[in-house]
Amino acid sequence: MINKVNEVKLFGGRQIRYEHPSSVLNCTMQFSVYLPPQAEQQPVPALYWLSGLTCTDENFSSKAGAQRVAAELGIALIIPDTSPRGEGVPDDANQAYDFGLGAGFYVNATQAPWNQHYHMYDYIVQELRELVEKELPVTQRRAISGHSMGGHGALVMALRNPELYTSVSAFAPICHPTQCPWGHKAFSGYLGDDQAAWQEYDATELLLRLRKAPPMLISQGEADNFLAEQLRPDDLANAIAETGVEATFERHEGYDHSYYFIASFIEQHLRFHAEKLFN
């Protein structure tokens, strides 16, 4: 069951925020949805957007400018939060931005105390998907995209569940988290020292092992201050070249890690997904 928190009209459609009790995350969750005008007549396909560190379900809906194109194409936008929240949900002791609240990394935590709530992978792939398709006018045609930590999550979910998603795209994703500081901190905290468990949430390692993927589009700004240390796009680009999967990896001179970058290319990503969603 979902409860509407608020709603505004936008480009003929509706931007809505919902809340619901999550059995997977053991808390109450909020998520945002854009329903295009076409959804008033019939169910529409959906794009799931996974946001990055420190974000909530409202960053993308307010900053990316995606609704205009989604309204034209007839695609719903499903925008979950980035972590469990609420009373009793643990946070990093130092309230660091890259672990704990706002930084769920889209994994299923196995280490206490995080394993009581931080199951963002199952939440997105299963619980939220089933809830959305039961309660909202969307079809079972779905794509997935995201930014930074959310780009990592989108790639991992699509690689591990190619039957669920027609396509996947990412803006400045954390491409090789087992080999970067953000990933080391998150994975050691949520998953412990088991390196095999880490690799299950690493897009580069998954692609090299599975050697297949849904159609993929990746955009990376060349002026991104996290480029070399945290994102490691060359590692994923090399894996794409080695495996020969259907993928476009674009690099954009002068663009940084912000929502200005996302807003500049979100139309391209939505049209890429539309080609797959409506085929």
List the CATH number of the domain containing 102: 3.40.50.1820
- Per run of 10 residues, the mean pLDDT along the chain (length 279 residues) is 96 98 98 98 98 98 98 98 96 95 98 98 98 98 98 98 98 98 98 96 98 98 97 98 97 98 98 97
Choose among 88, 79, 82, 91: nearest CA to 27.
88
CA distance linking residue 114 with residue 136, whole number of Å: 30
Q: Which domain holds residue 168?
A: 3-278
Tokens of 249: 């990896």
Give the total number of structural domains in the chain.
1
Tokens of 259: 């929502």
Report cis status (omega within 30 of 0) of the bond before 113.
yes
**What's the pLDDT score for residue 43?**
98
**What's the pLDDT score for residue 1?**
85
CA distance linking residue 156 with residue 120, whole number of Å: 12
Radius of gyration (Cα) for the chain, nearest Å? Answer: 17
Strands 44-50 and 27-35: unpaired
Q: CB of 61 within 8 A of CB of 32?
A: yes
Enumerate the β-bridge partners of residue 206. none
Residues with catalytic annotation? Answer: 148, 224, 257
Q: Write down the pTM of the prediction.
A: 0.98
